[in-house]
Amino acid sequence: MRLSRWSGAICAALIATQVHAGQEVGDYRGLPQDLAAAATAYDLAQFKSDRAELERLLADDYVLANANGENQTKAQDIADAVAPGSKTTYVAITQQVRKVWPNGAVLGGMVDAKGFNRGKAFTMRARFVDVWAKRDGRWQVIFTQVNSAP
C-alpha cells in the first residue's frame, strides 16, 4: 500500500478539533490564525480528496518523502489522492508537534487512517511531518515526510 496520500494529516489530509464531528483535522488552537486556517483546510482537502484545495495548499515545488522511501512531486501526490477508488473513511491524529516561526512552520504527529487506495482497503499508522512556508502572504506545504509506525 502506498502511504503517500496522507502526507500532511495524513497526513496534517488527516489531525482533532472540536469544530468538526470527526477527527479529520488537527487541533490548531494557539497557532497564528492564517496558519491554523490553512492547516485545517489542508487536512480536510486530504480527507475529502479535494483536488482544487490540494492544488492551492501544496507549493509548486512540494516534495513528499513517502513511507515507501520514494520522493513524489505535487502532481504525483495529488494524482494518488484523487485516483479512482481512493477514499479515506477514518482519520485520527495524535501526538501533534507544532513549531512555528514568522514565515515557516513544522506541523506533524501520528496518524491512524482507514479507507481505500485504488479500490483496495487499507489500514495505516504513520508518523508524519509537514513543513509549511508563508510565501506571498499565504501558507503552503513545501515538504512532507511520512514513516510507517508500529
Domain carrying residue 131: 4-148
Cα separation, 84 vs 82, in Å, equals: 6
The rounded percent of the chain whose pLDDT value lies above 70 is: 84
Per the CB < 8 A criterion, the answer to whether 115 and 36 are in contact is no
Task: Report the CATH number that the domain containing residue 31 is assigned in CATH.
Answer: 3.10.450.50
Cell 496534517 appears where?
12
Note the pLDDT of residue 149: 93
8-state DSSP, 6? G
pLDDT at 26: 86
User: What pLDDT is stored for residue 23 in this prediction?
Assistant: 59
The neighbouring-strand residues paired with 97 are: 108
Say which range, 11-25, 97-111, 117-131, has the weakest mean pLDDT: 11-25
Read off the pLDDT of residues 10-66 as tens digits, 9 standing for 90 and up: 333 333 333 333 456 889 999 999 999 999 999 999 999 999 999 999 999 999 999
What is the arithmetic mean of pLDDT over 68-72?
A: 94
Number of domains in the chain: 1
The confidence score (pLDDT) of residue 70 equals 96
Give the model's pLDDT for residue 24: 65
Cell of 134: 508563508
Q: Give alpha helix (H) positions in the chain.
A: 33-48, 51-57, 74-81
Residue 13: its pLDDT value, please?
Answer: 34
Cell representation of residue 6: 496522507
Task: Write down the pTM of the prediction.
Answer: 0.83
Q: Considering only CA atoms, which of 55, 61, 105 is closest in space to residue 81? A: 55
**Average pLDDT of span 117-124:** 92
